[in-house]
Amino acid sequence: MRKINVGVAGLGRAFSLMAPSFAADPRVALVAAADPRPEARQRFAGEFRGAAFSSVEEMIAEKSVEAVYVATPHQLHAEHACLAAARGKHVLVEKPMALGLEECRAMIAAARAAGVALVVGHSHSFDLPILRTKKLLESGAFGPVRMITALDYTDFLYRPRRPEELDTARGGGAVFNQAAHQVDVVRLLGGSRVKSVCAHTGAWDPARPTEGAYACLLSFESGAFATLVYSGYAHFDSDEFCGWVGEDGLSKDPELYGVARKRLASSKNETALKADRDYGGSSFSQSGKSQFHPHFGPLVVSCERADLRPLPNGVMIYADGEKRLEPLPAPAVPRAGVIDELYGAIVEGRAPLHGGEWAMATLEVCLAMLRSAREQKEVALTSRTGSPT
């Protein structure tokens, strides 16, 4: 089997979530990484026997690297993706693709000019229950999608953060970081272009002055509409509605209520708290193997003749005459869908579902949410990018 040699830019939280996927998948090998944090480089060199550099430029220059996984903070995505493409390396870049649409266009152009693949992820629209729901919708058995309801209540805002993660102008807050998942999921299932956005956002904690919550109504060209609700204020946890299976498919202890908020409150130095828990830090621990599929909160897709509900163990179908679970086996490799698309694009010449134009359209919706909330009006989207295939 052809193996793709991957170099990692940024050994932080995103990398620690993808690392088990790279480690378990025979189609990829982690051969190099770059991060300014020595403790992260040291751990990477020990764990993967790969070359570890302090700069992305040096890592990208490494001959053995064929594809670069860009998992640096958002504001560096465009720079690192374009650098990689210019060196003829394929690119897998984390969500959100970038901070602005011009940066996205530059990334798409750089990949096209170099003839390399550009895949954007992980986002929760790679989750198998979402992809299976899309297939069920495409079968036509339930009629057209009419309405989607998505909600998620988490402790997002109280996880230890870099300063820019609490500043919307620099890509912080729930819209850039969490709507990037939720919008991606809803667009994939909505099945047509988003034509307008009406949103409200909430920034209720002056100590963490970015959006922690939003509510948004998306209208699709097909006439369907979707409601997206998110709160990261660490009170209600909507995993309660998902059988206490957490976002990454791991069972969760409901007794650990408020743990993120308590941990943050008891720490005097948020940067140190984060560094300690990050890859290479002294309290870092790799998540266990998930028995369930990851998810991004409760979701109901209402079609003309059924409601479909992706779950951590399958897709529940509530049709006119019956309800049944379309079961899915537990994931063998976490986030395997991301590698499927990367491998498909590089080795099998398949256009990725989550390519540059797709992800740019998701960012466009997120930016429209921020604008709609700021200007207190509905925002029409005029671009033709990212219509679902």
Handedness of CA 24, 281, 79, 187 (dihedral sign): positive
Residue, CB closest to ligand NAD? 12
Residue number, 260 or 319, with CB nearest to ligand NAD: 260
**Cβ neighbours, 10 Å, residue 261:** 16
Q: Which residue(s) pair with 231 in the sheet?
A: 153, 213
Residue number, 71 or 151, with CB nearest to ligand NAD: 71
Closest approach, Cβ 94 to ligand NAD, in A, equals: 4
Closest approach, Cβ 155 to ligand NAD, in A, equals: 14
Count each helix (H run) and each strand (E run) in the chain, helices first.
12, 15
Residues 257, 261, 266, 271, Cα dihedral to 10°: 140
Looking only at the bridges linking them, the beta strands covering 118-120 and 90-93 are: parallel
Enumerate residues 6+ apart whose C-beta is below 8 A from 345: 90, 117, 119, 351, 352, 355
Judged by phi (left if over 0) then psi (alpha if -120 to 50, else beta), residue 193 lies in: beta
Residues 271, 276, 277, 282, Cα dihedral to 10°: 170
Per DSSP, the residues of 280-321 read TSTT-------SS---SS-EEEEESSEEEEEETTEEEEEESS
Closest approach, Cβ 232 to ligand NAD, in A, equals: 13
Closest approach, Cβ 52 to ligand NAD, in A, equals: 11
Closest approach, Cβ 293 to ligand NAD, in A, equals: 14
Residue number, 96 or 314, with CB nearest to ligand NAD: 96
Cα angle, residue 215 at apex, residues 150 and 149 outer, rounded to 5°: 20
Judged by phi (left if over 0) then psi (alpha if -120 to 50, else beta), residue 297 lies in: left
Residue number, 137 or 335, with CB nearest to ligand NAD: 335
For the chain, give the number of residues: 389
Closest approach, Cβ 126 to ligand NAD, in A, equals: 9
Residue number, 95 or 354, with CB nearest to ligand NAD: 95
DSSP H/E element including 4: strand 4-9
Residue number, 93 or 303, with CB nearest to ligand NAD: 93
Residue number, 70 or 317, with CB nearest to ligand NAD: 70
Residue number, 162 or 289, with CB nearest to ligand NAD: 162
Structure tokens at 333: 């490799």
Closest approach, Cβ 324 to ligand NAD, in A, equals: 30
Rounded Cα–Cα distance for residues 252 and 163 (Å): 28
Residue number, 34 or 151, with CB nearest to ligand NAD: 34
Binding stretches for ligand NAD (CB under 6 A): 9-14, 17, 34-37, 40, 56, 71-74, 76, 94-95, 122, 162, 177, 278
Closest approach, Cβ 167 to ligand NAD, in A, equals: 14
DSSP H/E element including 129: helix 128-138
Closest approach, Cβ 314 to ligand NAD, in A, equals: 22
